[in-house]
Amino acid sequence: MNYLGIDIGGTNVAYGIVNSNNEIVYSNSFKTSEFPNAKTCSKAIFDDLNENASQLKIQAIGIGAPSVNFFSQSIENAPNLDWEDDIIPLKDIFEEQFEISTKIINDANAAAIGEHIYGGAKDLETFAMVTLGTGVGIGLVINGEVYHGANGTGGEFGHICIDRVNGRECGCGNYGCLETYIGRDGILKTARQKIEFGGVTQLNKIIPSELSAKDIFKFARKEDPVAVDIVAQITKDLGYAISIITNSLDINNIFLFGGIAKEGNFIKKRTLKDLKPYLTAALRDNINLQISELINENPAILGAAYMVKI
Ligand SMILES: [Zn+2]
């Protein structure tokens, strides 16, 4: 039996057919910006599978997506998704296209399920999966259960306010959200400000429109002072935001996943150092911050597919 797992992100739509041994037997991806709406996205995936993987019969579809309301099975007011409608009945759209039972879940929760079943959280009943990408999210597994929240919209970690005074405007309508500092665009905004005012740096040799977080970390490793300063700002903000979750919920296992988490120990060590001063005494000595064991795979595809398997 096969299951289709789809990870809809602000930048890419990635998907894979997962077999009963939990192996991805076919995968592909598109740029999210290729599609004006969810309908054209579902049609493109359908056509691709028809053409290239029609021998793999699919039993059910699981989708991880941003700004999901788990209860209504819709995407609601997604700041990082440039699709036409504010309310997108994603489950219905895919079921209409594929005529296969479909379930949708917040992308960070899908990634958390992936980590729980296949990755470093196998033996953990309670942990947090922080996803760092275009947006910033958190998947919480508490006492073995994914936490969806009172309205079905849990996981919006990127919209914790970390600057109440001079906060940047966020796509969600609020100001000072974590995502406006450590989401993809937020990092680049910080970088542009610091490159302009921060003195001598190799980063200004890169064409501004081509600058990426990867470049910033590359030069930070070479101790370029401005790049070091940008990374320090990221890990301070991330560390502080994580402490809000760990201290409130007494969670001591946290996994980092997504673009900048690929920097491995380099980001982990710095985030941990910046997180520790904010921790409660109980957590300070047994906090366990790790990079996702599925960092080079796609836990959201695996997690979304697993969700519909059970
Ligand atoms: Zn926000």
Model confidence over 37-81: pLDDT tens digits?
A: 999 999 999 999 999 999 999 999 999 999 999 999 999 998 888
Q: What is the pLDDT of residue 47?
A: 97
**How far away, in angstroms, is 213 Cα from ligand 1 center?**
20
| pLDDT beyond 90 at 199 | no
Output the average pLDDT for the chain: 95
Residues in contact with 15: Cβ distance below 8 Å, sequence separation at least 6, in sequence order: 4, 5, 6, 7, 27, 28, 29, 45, 301
**How far away, in angstroms, is 60 Cα from ligand 1 center?**
33
**How far away, in angstroms, is 89 Cα from ligand 1 center?**
22
**How far away, in angstroms, is 157 Cα from ligand 1 center?**
9
**How far away, in angstroms, is 138 Cα from ligand 1 center?**
14
**How far away, in angstroms, is 56 Cα from ligand 1 center?**
40
3-class SS shares of the chain: helix, strand, coil, % to 5: 45, 25, 35
| pLDDT beyond 80 at 198 | no
Q: Are 182 and 168 in contact (CB under 8 A)?
A: no
Q: What is the pLDDT of residue 31?
A: 96
| pLDDT beyond 80 at 169 | yes
Residues with CB under 5 A from ligand 1 (ion): 159, 170, 172, 174, 177
Q: How many CB atoms lie within 10 A of CB 65?
A: 24
* Residue 50 tokens, joined: 């028809």
* Residue from 235, 184, 232 nearest 212 by CA: 184
Q: What is the pLDDT of residue 197?
A: 84
**How far away, in angstroms, is 232 Cα from ligand 1 center?**
22
Q: What is the pLDDT of residue 278?
A: 97
**How far away, in angstroms, is 200 Cα from ligand 1 center?**
32
**How far away, in angstroms, is 137 Cα from ligand 1 center?**
11
Q: What is the pLDDT of residue 246?
A: 96
**How far away, in angstroms, is 180 Cα from ligand 1 center?**
7
Q: Are strands 127-132 and 102-106 parallel, antiparallel or unpaired?
A: unpaired
Q: What is the pLDDT of residue 90?
A: 97
**How far away, in angstroms, is 52 Cα from ligand 1 center?**
39
Q: What is the pLDDT of residue 240?
A: 98
Q: What is the pLDDT of residue 131?
A: 96
For residue 1, what are the CA distances in angstroms to 7, 58, 128, 239? 20, 7, 30, 42
Mean pLDDT of 25-34: 95
**Would you place residue 196 in the very low, low, confident or very high pLDDT band (cuts 50, 70, 90)?**
confident
Q: What is the pLDDT of residue 107?
A: 93
Q: Provide the H-helix boundaries in the chain.
A: 38-52, 90-98, 107-118, 179-182, 184-197, 213-221, 225-249, 265-275, 281-284, 299-309
For residue 302, what are the CA distances in angstroms to 4, 46, 63, 276? 9, 19, 10, 32
Q: What is the pLDDT of residue 80?
A: 84
**How far away, in angstroms, is 177 Cα from ligand 1 center?**
5
Q: What is the pLDDT of residue 114?
A: 94
Residues in contact with 142: Cβ distance below 8 Å, sequence separation at least 6, in sequence order: 126, 249
**How far away, in angstroms, is 160 Cα from ligand 1 center?**
7
Nearest-angstrom CA–CA distance, 167 and 177: 7
Model confidence over 112-148: pLDDT tens digits?
A: 999 999 999 999 999 999 999 989 999 999 999 999 9
Nearest-angstrom CA–CA distance, 281 and 177: 27
Model confidence over 281-308: pLDDT tens digits?
A: 999 999 999 999 999 888 999 999 999 9
Mean pLDDT of 199-204: 89
